[in-house]
Structure 1
Amino acid sequence: MDKCHCAQIAFETIVETAKSEGIDYREIMERVNAGNTCTACKSYLIEYCESKLELQTT
């Protein structure tokens, strides 16, 4: 799974937006309502964002 189908947003877009705005990815999730409608992607989305952002900080 690589996107939230309900919000029509790719996980990578959330990561890139969070990095470019210098804010937590969870703020972007809230802004676009990702992972909140059917919640099927939520665990995948969180794992994806945390793994991508962790790789960027090491």
Structure 2
Amino acid sequence: MEKCHCAQVRFETIVQRAVSEGKDYREVVRSCGAADTCTACKDYLVAYCEERLNLAATR
């Protein structure tokens, strides 16, 4: 899975916005409404963002 189908937003877009705006990816997710309707993508979205932003290793 590479995007939230309900909000029609690609995971990569969330990562790019987080980096360019200097925000936590979770803030971007909330602002665009991703993983909020059916939540089927939530686990994939979190894993994708944390891997791309190298956050998984810091936990």
What TM-score comes out, normalization by structure 2 length?
0.91
Name the structure 1 match of 2:31.
Answer: 31
Q: Write the deviation string for residues 3-50 of structure 1: whole angstroms up to 9, x where unpaired.
A: 000000000000000000001000000001100100000000000000
Aligned length: 55
Name the structure 2 match of 1:6.
Answer: 6
Deviating beyond 3 angstroms after TM superposition, the runs of 4 or more aligned structure 1 residues are none
Unpaired runs of 5+ residues, structure 2, are none
Percent sequence identity over aligned pairs: 62
Aligned-residue RMSD, C-alpha: 1.0
Unpaired runs of 5+ residues, structure 1, are none
